[in-house]
Chain A
């Protein structure tokens, strides 16, 4: 019999589609803006990959939205952690009563205490659904004492402890549990250095390491910031983009240092991790959320300028969730302009770029070859895929 631990951070990812840069301490605001919690669904997708070994598997988890609900729904044998939150704890963690009941009871402390319990229970693997924040919490509890796989469900996902997508996380877990993968590798637990971030510099900070099953195609590379020597490449790309800009067309500028170059050439204010909108080379708005963006570009001519996240190779789904499926559909595949420095592409080692929006049909329709702008008058052919 195999034992796995399941930790779901139910509020993870909610900040993304509404333009918040993470959900920590912002869950209430996220709700106010209309965000829908999806971490549970993502965890479910991952867990579904383990249905083939249902009979030999026990899932250790907490009740309700932190994992129990999903495990039971799918019909797994479940062992629930006994709850021991006192009233003071509950009060401290509740978010002024504006959150739906089950969600208001969970927090970083719950994640950690569940992880500690899983360690005690000596599970074969810990599967956790969340973002960088969740990975940090898990790390603080288990360090290198357990084997872990991350199900990506958060907004900021820099840490390579996360699989490419929920399905891949489930598949990796299956390989591990059935002994087909037996090597582990320490992967970095990262998050954006918050002080640097406020100074408009993306700088990942290393928090620690988690042990992850070693299967290259399933986890993602460290999200590397663009090295200084790429500054010239970014300028060169930016000049090419500006040269190509058409009049009376909305340009959606995605997050990242490569896209920032475009805004700098135009002399416009930009948000490094947010989505900005430009029209006839003038700024329309900074830091838009998905629905705001959609209403501005609906039925108008628009183009979307995105970059791949350094080292990860994702176009959609890893920190630019403001670019919702509706927005992407409105823009149209042929109007997506990908920017990528040669160094960033080199880090992918020929693997395709991934799209992982919540809309699988859209993901599939976006697949194909694109000419990514890599410099002035230079493009590199990239393949976009929704699976390995």
Chain B
């Protein structure tokens, strides 16, 4: 029997499932049923009020518009869609720079199933277990960051930043100080500007020194003053470059009466190495779905756990989770200050997410967390060295002494100059090998950017496969650029016409809107 040759490191035979599956509403057949809901027994119907108990103003008066389909067809529909996604379970997620996509241990999903029947409105006495987990995770986060109390209410990174900006706003409201400016950097996550803007602040971006990749203190001093409410930054930034002078920045902001907030959504290179509070920051947040392994879930459920130093605890969103020595409880008292944030979301956090993060931390322990950081940094720097050996790849802000931390932004401008192939072309072609690849947040401050982040999850073999695939595609750029320009060829769909993406008049973000805009109703 012939053995299959698996010596090639590059998956040239890959092909994504391609089902040409319609929108589920297009599969609807009038009269077709998936479930026949049983009618209640006569005795029950006589006893219970039923639908008539719903207040008149809330009762539906139009027909429910759900697609009419059999169960097997629904099952096929969603299974096919799942096959058409290139998720973290099937591909090597090095290509998702700044997203920190690491392995989400399946055992934690199993453990989270234990609480899937819980409801946030249950009496506290019936959910002591999960409240204990919230409380202990809070303590772990404090130990990791140096902060004094965490809220798990923000359900995502941007909401975490929004919470930090809201705490800043509360603080100055309480002091009756009129400060409306937040300073950030262009390489911090765009939400470090967008979220405070939503919270009502004016945003000032610092630009990096073109040699070092980080802003200099003089620039900060030139634009900070009595209107500065806060300094909100990520460090290391999207480029992977670390500002080792960040404490001087913090000290300066403090000297003019402002607060400092650390975007630690991605703390993968810092666990056990450095703490937000030690750099002087007044608050920070972690993305449990990044650093702490909970699934990214394609936009949720997630958690932007936000922690503050003790003087700011009273402004956090309500409720916190407290422990009085005997029992766990929802603490509204500590955050009852009239200037406090109030709420950024219902309830006190997405329980399964906090539970999974708790399990991950417990399974690693403090030495394990430190090992995570070391492995992530090692993986990234191994990859960096290998990629920088390629003539097609370069990196800015390389002064020989500032190694990247856990991720790196490269530039493919050499490749583009030689072959005309750009970073977006490479992105599409990498999909033909079952790989993700990410460029940069917009706008592209660096030319032809490529931002990659291995995390601690991939093995050397995995990293090598990613590098070999990139090399393969770079070779194609020189020898057969057409195949890249017209990629993808083995993906779910071919090139999509993006020309209308900028035009709000053409957008349809739901089936309902699509019908309204594009069909006769």
Contacts and interface: CB of A to CB of B under 8 A. Distances in A.
- Physical interaction between A and B: yes
Interface of A: 228-229, 231-232, 342-343, 345-346, 349-351, 368-369, 371, 374, 377-383
B206 interface: yes
Nearest to B440: A346
A346 B187 CA distance: 11
Contacts of B459: none
Q: What is the size category of the interface that chain B forms with chain A? A: 20 to 34
A374 B205 contact: yes
B443 A369 contact: no
B430 interface: no
Given A343-B443, A377-B203, A382-B207, A232 B502 contact: yes
A355 to B, nearest CB: 17
Contact of A378 (B193, B207, B218): B193
Contacts of B223: 369, 371, 381
Contacts, number: 60
A228 B502 contact: yes
A229 B502 contact: yes
Contact of B443 (A342, A377, A381, A382): A342
B207 A381 contact: yes
Interface stretch (B153-161, B353-361, B380-388, B444-452): B444-452
Contact of B197 (A342, A345, A377, A381): A377
B22 interface: no
A349 to B, nearest CB: 6
Identify which of A371, A381, A382 gathers the most chain B CB atoms within 10 Å of its CB: A381
Do most interface residues of chain A lie in helix, strand or loop, or is the interface mixed? mixed
B219 interface: yes
Nearest to A380: B205
Contacts of A368: 222
A156 to B, nearest CB: 26
Do most interface residues of chain B lie in helix, strand or loop, or is the interface mixed? loop
A349 B445 contact: yes
A377 B202 contact: yes
A378 B205 contact: yes
B391 interface: no
Given A228-B502, A380-B186, A349 B207 contact: no
B210 interface: yes
A290 to B, nearest CB: 30
A343 B384 CA distance: 27
A5 to B, nearest CB: 29
Contact of A350 (B202, B205, B210, B443): B210
B443 A346 contact: yes
Given A368-B222, A378-B205, A379-B203, A349 B443 contact: no
Contacts of B215: 381
B445 A378 contact: no
3 closest A-B pairs (Cβ-Cβ)? A350-B210, A369-B222, A380-B205
B209 interface: yes
B204 interface: yes
B208 interface: yes
A222 B197 CA distance: 33
Nearest to A233: B443
A350 B197 contact: no
